[in-house]
Each structure stands twice: as structure tokens, then as C-alpha cells.
Amino acid sequence: MDALAIVVARVVEIYLALGIVFAIAFALRGVDAVDPAARGSSYGFRILVVPGAVALWPLMLARWRAGGPPPTEQNAHRDAAGDARP
């Protein structure tokens, strides 16, 4: 059982280490590519983004690599309100 705990701890450590490295790069450059509204944002905003980027770095990496604006949610409420964007 101790060996399993050590393996799990190592996997979490590696995940977080990769997340920290990614989050620094993402906060400096990637946030602009992922969200056009974040262009020109302050360093305070970028610091606030770092914890989320560390935790969700695989998703943020995929979004950064895909480029372009974030997808627009499509649902019946938006359609009824006339706020459906292509």
C-alpha cells in the first residue's frame, strides 16, 4: 500500500511541476491567444490566472494549440433570446 501512495504522490508532483511550467508560459503569452478579451490585461489578472492554469493545464494547452476565440455556448435559451452567434 505504501508503494501505491508513493506512485500516486509522484504522479501528482509531476503533474503539478508540468502545470507550473506551463502556467508561467501561459500567463505571459497564451492567455492572449486563448481569449482575445484578455489582450493587454494587467499583470494582476495574469497572476490570478496562474492557479487555474496549473490545475487545468492539459485543457488550457489544448485550447492554446487550437487557437481562435473560445467557443460560443449553444442552447435553447440563447436561441430564444436571439443571442445565438455562429
- Identify whether the C-beta of residue 47 lies closer than 8 Å to the C-beta of residue 81: no
Nearest to 26 by CA among 59, 61, 71, 69: 61
On average, the pLDDT of the chain sits at: 88
Q: Which three cell numbers stand for residue 14?
A: 509531476
Residues 13-55 have pLDDT tens digits of 999 999 999 999 999 999 988 888 888 889 999 999 999 999 9
pLDDT at 83: 59
pLDDT of 85 strictly over 80: no
CA–CA distance, 24 with 22 (Å, rounded to integer): 6
pLDDT at 86: 53
CA–CA distance, 57 with 74 (Å, rounded to integer): 25
Mean pLDDT of 43-68: 92
Compute the C-alpha angle 27/17/14, nearest 5°.
145
